[in-house]
Amino acid sequence: MCGIVGYVGHRDVRSVLLKGLGSLEYRGYDSAGVAWIEGGDLRLVRCKGKLDGLEDRLRGHCASTDGIGVGHTRWATHGEPNEVNAHPHIDCTGSLVVVHNGIIENYYTLRRCLLDEGHTFRSSTDTEVIAHLIEKYLTDGRDLIQAVRRALFDVRGSYALAVMWKGAPDRLVAVRRQSPLILGVGGDEAFLASDIPALLPYTRDLVFMEDGDMAILSRGGIRFFSLETGEPVDRVSHTISWDASMAEKAGYKHFMLKEIYEQPQAVLNTFLGRIKPGVSDITLPEIDLSFDVIKGLNRIIFLACGTSWHAGLVARYWIEKWVGIPVEVELASEFRYRHPILNDKVLVVPISQSGETADTLAGIRMVKAMGSPVLSICNVVGSTITREADATIYTHAGPEIGVASTKAFTSQLAALFILGLYLSKIRGTIARDELATKIDALAGLPGLLEGYLTLWHKEAMGLADEFYKKQDFLFLGRGFMFPIALEGALKLKEISYIHAEGYAAGEMKHGPIALIDRDMPVVALAPMDHVYEKMISNIEEVRSRRGIVIAFGEDGDTRLAEMAKYVVSVPRPSDGDINPFLYVVPLQLMAYEIAAARGCDVDQPRNLAKSVTVE
């Protein structure tokens, strides 16, 4: 979720870059930098921290009235947040720079090859390999566009790229694959950015690059090509009428809604480079635990708070089923006040979006003192939890602005799904064909989510019209739908202030059934799995007490349709173990629409903070 800005034209290039980067600050970042060509030389200024620091450093440079340049705000994914790892990244010759949003899956292999060929690397990022690859192919006599194409043929992963070379001081090259990049059209100048707000002060005529597009930006306009074939392609510009606030949210009313729609990309970014569909393989080099240590583990403890705790509850079902090892899921706020039994055969896995959660940090420190290895699941590179853990699996969800977690949760699930499969592969507890089925199911998940988001949103708006005035909700689920019921209830209470409770459906008779009457909406999560018949019986118990059933179930489930007045359809996946992803997203949308209908502050609900950094 880095911020990219590029410009070719007659304006003060540094001013355009800084203003554009300032418009993208809402995306979150840990470092920033700009590069431009002046008097035939390449100028590069970077710094850790906020744009104020970058502006201070630029004051030492002479004023520039026109030109060409690129800028970047970095949200770290590979390499800690510091000035050396900040973008733009430069090649060995100091004549070419690259800014990049995305993840290069095979960067380690490429880096080793380039080192063997004599290239010198300055950073520990995945992006820098692109600059060196382009340099390599430029020396073969190719022009810039052909060198970029050839370099990207070697690359696997997702990227939005802007490339500038002092050998072609009148043009920028832009490329997109799986990460957004937008171009601005205007008179004798051209712009590029990773999001719309950076371009609105200068033009509202925008071109949204498509996957596999390349473009050359110059004062004469923008030309588009196919990355695969090199042939010219036509692209149409669109006139945008959004105001600045709407632009930050990409046209969505709230950040939370934008982030719900970003979940297919967040899940994709989390598994890119870690799973290999079609060859039944999975890799997690960042774990840095020997096979003997992994095989010797006799227990796993997930340590988390709030939504992250729910992610751990889901993962317990996966890991106990696939790996055959006991799993405990602990609330970090309680764990530190117990006397847990720990040793070097107990793997402790703290889960945190921010990496700064105070209770979880305290738990980690206690665990390490008792000799257990610590493997964190986190979204923020360089955060305290990642520094204190022995290793980290990053989720790559990008910044999450809305206080109520959405894409951070599903990307945590993706990381935990991968962890479970990896452990089962190393310990030999899963058959190769079953592993292949689950890897393929995860690989297909972003497409499933994309295909249903609009439908789910429409159904959520209908449910909001019916239920936004209710004061109580009950959420029921069995198996790993139980933690999803907990998460659905949490989302509703967080942002709508409606009292909502999640329960294991089998526990309904042990108390909650007393609450059910004609005014009580009951959300029932009922995939057609091994506990489906049990769930149907629970729904019958609600109906017999005149409760209002809102059922979430599989497409084509006629039995469920006959029992519930309100039904939300969920696709039947190729492997039922990915159902938690598919059921939580429509629950998020229902909570969002109910809260919006009640006029609540969806992005900043009362009394809540994004990161709980005090006990």
Active site residues: 2, 610
- For residue 611, give the 3-state DSSP assignment: coil
CA distances from 7 to 56, 237, 518 (A): 21, 17, 61
Sheet holding 41-48, edge to edge: 41-48, 31-38, 67-74, 3-9, 189-193, 182-186, 205-208, 238-239
DSSP one-letter code for 78? S
- Sign of the C-alpha dihedral computed for residues 319, 322, 323 and 325 taken in this order: positive
User: How many C-alpha atoms does 150 have within 13 Å on its Cβ side?
Assistant: 16
Q: What's the CA gap between 171 and 218, in Å, rounded? A: 5
Q: Region of 43 please: left (phi>0), alpha (psi -120 to 50) or beta.
A: beta
CA-angle at 177, arms to 139 and 403, nearest 5°: 130
SS3 labels along 222-266: EEEEECCCCCEECCCCEECCCCHHHHHCCCCCCHHHHHHHCHHHH
* Torsion, CA 261, CA 265, CA 266, CA 270, rounded to 10: 160
DSSP string, 364-433: HHHHHHTT--BEEEESSTT-HHHHHSSEEEE-------SSS-SHHHHHHHHHHHHHHHHHHHHHT-S-HH
Tokens of 460: 């959520």
Tokens of 247: 């632009």
Q: What's the CA gap between 359 and 357, in Å, rounded? A: 6
Q: Which of 285, 268, 415, 294 is nearest to 352 (CA)?
A: 415
Give 50-58 contacts, CB < 8 A, sequence gap 24+: 50/25, 51/18, 51/21, 51/22, 51/25, 54/18, 54/21, 55/18, 58/14, 58/18, 58/34
First to last CA, the chain: 30
Beta-bridged to residue 174, according to DSSP, are 162, 215
- For residue 503, give the 3-state DSSP assignment: strand
Q: Which of 37, 4, 5 is nearest to 190 (CA)?
A: 5
Phi and psi torsions of 287, nearest 5°: -65, -40
Q: What's the CA gap between 575 and 555, in Å, rounded? A: 15
- For residue 487, give the 3-state DSSP assignment: helix
Tokens of 417: 């799904």
Tokens of 86: 């900040």
CA-angle at 411, arms to 579 and 152, nearest 5°: 115
